[in-house]
């Protein structure tokens, strides 16, 4: 059984710990909040509901030290509209969103109900809320990656994104103190892609797309995973919105269950897993994908209710309980050649 752990103290990284053995005694790779295959969504819900008693609750652990500070590489100027501001740190993430929206009223529009994800690690007082034109980020100072990102997809934004030419450069974000941000040199010759949490392909226009290339929106991602399976998920969500005319809110998070954490460069943490969740306010439906950060990942899916019951994570606190599953199979959206065949979703 998987336990979501939060390392408190100086190292605040979301951890996913997995144990071995019989799945019924705690041996599945992923939390049993995710269960089933896209071939039978309704049976998936019945199975999940029947097994809720076996799910583990959120736990906490205190360990580790903050990675050593790295020397900043020469700054790359941010794109127009993304200007340097004072460092902001907040003792409480829910007051943070209030403070952040005072300087940028658009920030709350990227979050369902204007409410931030309820993540214990978000209470790192060094963390910042960054409001961009079309998405929001909470930084993870210990990992030098985003803790979570949030954005909204509408039929109009998807249409505009399809007409936006991808032409931008990665840059270091001057809004974050140099001791808590990744540098361009951290990723050089690391063997990892600079993987977008908010995809540039979701962004409706030049400035929003350019802003996704900030390293505050980037994690070290396996190159094949980034260009194949994870890209399939991103494309599947865009296709769903365009096909159905629905609006969805998206939360993306890097997860790490490796102890000690694997790092590149001056201490940028390499996530062991990636999570992407989508919530559809008009219907209350949702879907959460979680996958290993490897070329041919084990992966699984569920709803935000299943995730909440499993380990207390509320990615969309404003969402009502009891919503159904958005029926999306990322394997049906692949257009890129040369990718490995996607595995069946993990069901135990």
**C-alpha 216: how far from chain center:** 12
CA atoms within 13 A on the CB side of 269: 31
Phi, psi of 155 (to 5 degrees): -55, -40
Return the residue matching tokens 């902001």.
88
Tokens matching residue 89: 């740190």
Active site residue 196: yes
Contact 131, 99 (CB under 8 A): no
Contacts of 184 (CB under 8 A, 6+ apart): 73, 76, 170, 171, 172, 215
Phi, psi of 331 (to 5 degrees): -70, -15
Gap between the Cα atoms of 345 and 291, Å rounded: 9
Gap between the Cα atoms of 194 and 191, Å rounded: 10
- The helix (H) or strand (E) run that includes residue 248 is strand 248-255
Which one of the listed residues 45, 110, 151, 196 is annotated catalytic?
A: 196
List the beta bridge partners of residue 194: 220
Residues annotated as catalytic are: 196
């Amino acid at each position: 059984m998987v336990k979501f752990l939060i390392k408190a103290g100086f190292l605040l990284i979301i951890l996913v710990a997995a144990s071995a053995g019989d799945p019924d005694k705690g041996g599945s790779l992923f939390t049993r909040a995710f269960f089933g295959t896209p071939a039978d969504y309704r049976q998936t819900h019945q199975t999940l509901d029947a097994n809720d008693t076996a799910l583990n609750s959120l736990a906490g652990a205190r360990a580790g030290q903050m990675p050593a500070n790295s020397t900043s590489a020469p700054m790359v100027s941010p794109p127009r509209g993304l200007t340097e501001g004072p460092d902001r740190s907040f003792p409480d993430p829910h007051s943070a969103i209030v403070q952040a929206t005072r300087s940028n009223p658009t920030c709350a529009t990227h979050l369902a109900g204007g409410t931030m994800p309820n993540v214990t690690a978000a209470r790192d007082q060094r963390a910042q809320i960054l409001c961009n034109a079309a998405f929001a980020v909470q930084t993870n100072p210990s990992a030098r990656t985003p803790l979570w990102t949030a954005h909204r997809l509408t039929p109009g934004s998807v249409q505009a994104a399809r007409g936006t030419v991808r032409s931008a450069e990665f840059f270091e974000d001057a809004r974050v103190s140099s001791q808590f941000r990744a540098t361009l040199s951290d990723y050089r010759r690391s063997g990892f892609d600079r993987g977008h949490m908010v995809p540039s392909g979701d962004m409706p226009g030049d400035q929003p797309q350019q802003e996704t290339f900030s390293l505050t929106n980037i994690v070290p991602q396996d190159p094949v995973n980034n260009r194949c399976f994870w890209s399939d998920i991103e494309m599947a969500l865009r296709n769903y919105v365009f096909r159905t005319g629905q609006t969805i809110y998206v939360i993306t998070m890097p997860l790490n269950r490796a102890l000690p954490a694997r790092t590149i460069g001056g201490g940028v943490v390499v996530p062991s897993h990636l999570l992407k969740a989508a919530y559809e306010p008009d219907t209350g439906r949702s879907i959460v994908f979680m996958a290993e950060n490897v070329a041919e990942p084990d992966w699984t899916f569920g709803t935000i209710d299943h995730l909440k019951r499993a380990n207390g994570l509320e990615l969309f606190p404003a969402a009502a309980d009891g919503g159904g599953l958005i029926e999306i199979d990322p394997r049906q959206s692949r257009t890129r050649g040369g990718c490995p065949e996607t595995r069946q979703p993990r069901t135990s």
